[in-house]
Structure 1
Amino acid sequence: MARSVTNKALDALLFAAGYGNAHAAFARQVNHAGRAQGSWRYDAASVYWWLRGRRPAEHVQNAMAETIARKLGRPVEMTELGFLGTNLADAAYSPTASGAIDAAGRLWTLLAHRVNSPIGGAFHSGAALQAAFAWRYDLPDTQVTRDGRTSLTGADIQPLNLLAEHFADLDRRHGGGSPHTRALMADLLARQVVPMLHGAYADAVGRDLMRATATLCGQLAFMSYDAGEHGIAQHHLTIALRLAKAADDRLYGAHLLANLATQAVYLGHTRDAARLAEAAVDGAGRAPAAVRARLYTTAASAYGRSGERRACRAALAKAERAVDRMRKEDSPRWVSYFSPAHLAGTTLKCLSDLRLHRQALRHASDAITLTTQNARTRVLHSALIALTHAQAGDLDAACTWGREAARHTPQVSSARVTQRIQELATVLTPHRTRADVHDLLSTLAPTPPPHSGRL
């Protein structure tokens, strides 16, 4: 029986280059690329063993990378071949934009062909803090011009911005849990965006390209986080953060850092989450009101989870003042989703974390005033309201809001939604002898187990 493939990175590259079912042809091309070093006789059997862990000599790996690069139309680093044990969930912040581009290419190529096989990896708060420090204090990139085969203009960049908005809309409507959607996005990035990043462009076009790519990468990061793929999410966020640095877009960089803080809060790293949120606020500087509101709500979440009541209330007050000053025309497009309902939901969660359940519920009606396409937030807020009512001892209201959450849950694939629904079920279980609680628990029961993570 044939052995299973262990070198997933090489397998994905061969597939992307059109050699997925043509191993003999690939071996012949490698032999041709290495002809200056002698008469090589690699064949399909050689490729078979390369895919199953056998490591060829470095000069052979160089010929392999050269062969695949010709087919993909972009440079391929030897580290992409998978023989060096590269950890694709490694979230180290690259000192150069080129390093971030190479890391992105490796990650996206693999993800595009791993639909039903999660890569895994854990969130590392230390690496997140190091990335925040580097993003904040490293010197800016003096220029990002590049020489390549294909010249790019500003007109080539605009479709990438539209694609980012499209995937953001899908994410809010249906959640980031579908591996097929994430694989589709990774495939698009690997096949279309990576060759653009390796193209030829002047500095201004290059910064626009870095900004657009950071936005796409940041969106895939959030979808991975929502799906419970925390190591991959952090890796994407770190790459996006470095590309935002290259684009000289400190506002989007601060937004990405706030997303890292949000992930850290979810996973229980509350002290580090607060530091990340504070770095985001500091790095954003004199930001538009919508950006400030989004950043302060993140800081409040971290303070609320860590029990810092005074700091939490202060951050919520700053967020509320910023919301009062929001004007759409002054806001970047990527923050247009943020609304008073998001602030209300965060306030409700913070006060609930501080065990101020009655105060928290004063924000319930505002938290649910959302646009219809924001289905995931609607479920999260409905379940949160139900949970807070249950914690406050009002089981009738808890069941009412629990049924509302259950009604929308099938529309959304999200590990975070699953986790919150299960937390609600846990709080209600001691009261299951009540008919309404029993019926609600029966409705919630089909919810599948969540990915690792905590609320």
Structure 2
Amino acid sequence: MTTTKTPNTQLAEWLARAGLSNAELARRVKAAAHQAGHPQVAPDATAVRRWLQGNQPRRPIPGIVADIVSDAVGYRVTSADLGLGESHAEDRSLLYNRDWVVTVETVSDLGRADVDRRRFLAAAPFAAVAATGPSRDWLLATLDQEPEPGPRVRLEDVAAVKNMFSEFQRVDIFQGGGSGRLILAAYMNVHVYPLLRRPQAEDVRQALCEAAAEQTYLLGWMAYDNGEHGTAQRYLIQSLRLAEESRNVPLGAHVLAGMADQATLLGHPEEGLRLAQSGRHGLRGSSAAALADLWALEGRALAAMGDKAAATRAVTQSEAAAEQVHPGEEPEWALFIDPAYLHGEHAMTLRDIGDHSGAAEHAKRSIDHARQQKRARRGALSQAALASTHLQKRDLEQAYAAGLRTLSLASKVKSSRAVEAVADLQRRMEPFGRSRLVADFAERARVLTAA
């Protein structure tokens, strides 16, 4: 007896809405799969026709198709929406679900997938359109909130989570995001996410959600620093939802800052600008450190977009906000938003708009502060920015010297951002041709990237 497959009308409707032909979808799936490390995935128009007839493609194809359709229509569409099977953790975790029970299950599934099935999650791509809905929903929910009086309740288990955040944040700052991230993920799976399922009084639940949001953000940030951008994006979106549940507006704005940083780094400065502005508008001045950070990242995005005047204004606004920061009054997650960090970000903004002298001055300030704190990652990023300003002034010898310092510091941390700063500096040296200094730096950089 022959079994007749049911045509996938959902997929057909979404492809029509996205304006994608069978051949074009097949081409994009093949390209995205190869970029994600799946060279064996090479569908053609005939394969797409079979999907439309009711055949279910194997993983990772459903998730890739969902990403492609999402990019085409401008908002997140899941594999389940396309009739391509149940959405897996890497797909569901890109959604900002209003249902709290669903959110708890999603973030728990994400943590398990991160530890148990990393080959799938590590290959998950960054989806620029996925941040549109979450940032909008967070901002609308935040503007509807009214602050509640009274001190925050600190239960013993919440305090323990907070203490662990402090430890892992230090690991990230001084050793890089690649050090200890999976240990943190395992800790969250065993000790934190299960707590979210237990019934709690409202004040206790808010405190617990805040602690979980901080840790989930840190997981996302460490993945981002380690170059695992698909994983990072998913953790950041779920952290934003947890922050909203905790009613901690500065924390939510801080998560949006991380999302903005990632979007700009990956070549989506318009999205980075929108995310930074959403965080700033929702913040309403309740954290000077978070405000300084959001203005700094707004400047980074504007510089990448080529808006020199607006980028310069954003740097000025960030500096003004930084003057109002009182470290003892800021939350622990904001401790890294200090002169070493802010001057480093401003150096890269001014470098990108061609302000060589301004960029060099900020880079030197960042380097001095980072050296005092023994922060190798920040020092590496700022040394690379300083080297870039020397190259812009055609001073290869000074750039080479700063480049060597970049290499030395980058080798001390497990951070793909530090390695990328070295690679970027190597690319900027290429116009100088076959100089001995260029060749020597390239060889040293090759050794670092290979390691």
* TM-score of the two chains, using structure 1 as the length reference: 0.74
1:137-170 superposed Cα distances (whole Å, 9 cap, x missing partner): 137699xxxxxxxxx9711100101111111111
In the TM superposition, what are the counterparts of 1:346-385 in structure 2 within 5 Å? 346-369=345-368, 370=370, 371-385=372-386
Q: Is the 8 Å Cα contact of residues 100 and 239 (structure 1) preserved in structure 2?
A: yes
Residue range with higher mean Cα deviation, 315-324 or 277-286: 315-324
In the TM superposition, what are the counterparts of 1:253-402 in structure 2 within 5 Å? 253-369=252-368, 370=370, 371-402=372-403
- Measure how far apart 1:417 and its partner are: 1.4
1:292-350 superposed Cα distances (whole Å, 9 cap, x missing partner): 11111111111111111121111111111112222112211110111122222122111
Structure 2 residues without counterparts, runs of 5 or longer: 1-57, 59-84, 147-152
In the TM superposition, what are the counterparts of 1:61-140 in structure 2 within 5 Å? 84-89=86-91, 90-114=93-117, 119-138=122-141
Equivalent residue, structure 1, for 2:17: none
Distance between the aligned counterparts of 1:264 and 1:258, measured in 2? 10
Say whether residues 1:166 and 2:152 are aligned partners: no
Equivalent residue, structure 1, for 2:244: 245
Q: Which amino acid aligns with 1:238?
A: I
- Measure how far apart 1:125 and its partner are: 2.2
Distance between the aligned counterparts of 1:194 and 1:288, measured in 2? 27
Distance between the aligned counterparts of 2:169 and 2:252, measured in 1? 17
Q: Is the 8 Å Cα contact of residues 91 and 231 (structure 1) preserved in structure 2?
A: no
Equivalent residue, structure 2, for 1:15: none
Equivalent residue, structure 1, for 2:425: 424
- Measure how far apart 1:117 and its partner are: 6.7
In the TM superposition, what are the counterparts of 1:167-182 in structure 2 within 5 Å? 167-178=168-179, 181-182=180-181
Distance between the aligned counterparts of 1:359 and 1:211, measured in 2? 38
1:19-46 superposed Cα distances (whole Å, 9 cap, x missing partner): xxxxxxxxxxxxxxxxxxxxxxxxxxxx
- Measure how far apart 1:397 and its partner are: 0.8
Q: Which amino acid aligns with 1:367?
A: S
Distance between the aligned counterparts of 1:286 and 1:426, measured in 2? 40
- Measure how far apart 1:214 and its partner are: 0.2
Q: Is the 8 Å Cα contact of residues 121 and 231 (structure 2) preserved in structure 1?
A: no
Q: Is the 8 Å Cα contact of residues 358 and 392 (structure 1) preserved in structure 2?
A: no
Distance between the aligned counterparts of 1:274 and 1:427, measured in 2? 25
1:258-283 superposed Cα distances (whole Å, 9 cap, x missing partner): 11000011011111111111101000
1:88-133 superposed Cα distances (whole Å, 9 cap, x missing partner): 1441111122222111110111212346775322222222121000
| Larger CA Rg, structure 1 vs 2 | 1
* TM-score of the two chains, using structure 2 as the length reference: 0.75
Please report the RMSD computed on the Cα atoms of aligned residues, expressed in angstroms.
2.4
Q: Is the 8 Å Cα contact of residues 407 and 448 (structure 2) preserved in structure 1?
A: no
Q: Which amino acid aligns with 1:84?
A: E
Equivalent residue, structure 2, for 1:23: none
Q: Is the 8 Å Cα contact of residues 260 and 276 (structure 2) preserved in structure 1?
A: yes
Q: Is the 8 Å Cα contact of residues 432 and 441 (structure 1) preserved in structure 2?
A: no
- Shift of the 447–351 alpha-carbon distance from structure 1 to 2, 3 Å rule, reads same
Q: Is the 8 Å Cα contact of residues 281 and 295 (structure 1) preserved in structure 2?
A: yes
- Shift of the 366–433 alpha-carbon distance from structure 1 to 2, 3 Å rule, reads same
Equivalent residue, structure 1, for 2:42: none
Q: Is the 8 Å Cα contact of residues 271 and 302 (structure 1) preserved in structure 2?
A: yes
* Secondary structure of 1:94's aligned partner: coil
- Measure how far apart 1:403 and its partner are: 0.9
Residue range with higher mean Cα deviation, 115-124 or 395-404: 115-124
- Measure how far apart 1:438 and its partner are: 3.0
Q: Is the 8 Å Cα contact of residues 340 and 378 (structure 2) preserved in structure 1?
A: no
Distance between the aligned counterparts of 1:98 and 1:288, measured in 2? 30
In the TM superposition, what are the counterparts of 1:190-269 in structure 2 within 5 Å? 190-269=189-268
Structure 1 residues without counterparts, runs of 5 or longer: 1-52, 54-82, 143-151, 451-455
Residue range with higher mean Cα deviation, 224-233 or 133-142: 133-142
Greater share of helix: 2
- Measure how far apart 1:418 and its partner are: 1.5
In the TM superposition, what are the counterparts of 1:47-58 in structure 2 within 5 Å? none
- Measure how far apart 1:358 and its partner are: 3.3
- Measure how far apart 1:84 and its partner are: 2.9
* Secondary structure of 1:232's aligned partner: helix
Q: Is the 8 Å Cα contact of residues 351 and 388 (structure 2) preserved in structure 1?
A: no
Distance between the aligned counterparts of 1:373 and 1:122, measured in 2? 33
* Secondary structure of 1:350's aligned partner: helix
Q: Is the 8 Å Cα contact of residues 351 and 385 (structure 2) preserved in structure 1?
A: no
Instruction: Quote the sequence identity (%).
Output: 27
* Secondary structure of 2:411's aligned partner: helix
Aligned length: 360
Q: Is the 8 Å Cα contact of residues 113 and 121 (structure 2) preserved in structure 1?
A: no
Distance between the aligned counterparts of 1:281 and 1:430, measured in 2? 39
- Shift of the 176–138 alpha-carbon distance from structure 1 to 2, 3 Å rule, reads same
Distance between the aligned counterparts of 1:122 and 1:86, measured in 2? 14
Q: Is the 8 Å Cα contact of residues 376 and 412 (structure 1) preserved in structure 2?
A: yes
- Measure how far apart 1:87 and its partner are: 4.5
- Shift of the 350–107 alpha-carbon distance from structure 1 to 2, 3 Å rule, reads same
Equivalent residue, structure 1, for 2:413: 412
Equivalent residue, structure 1, for 2:12: none
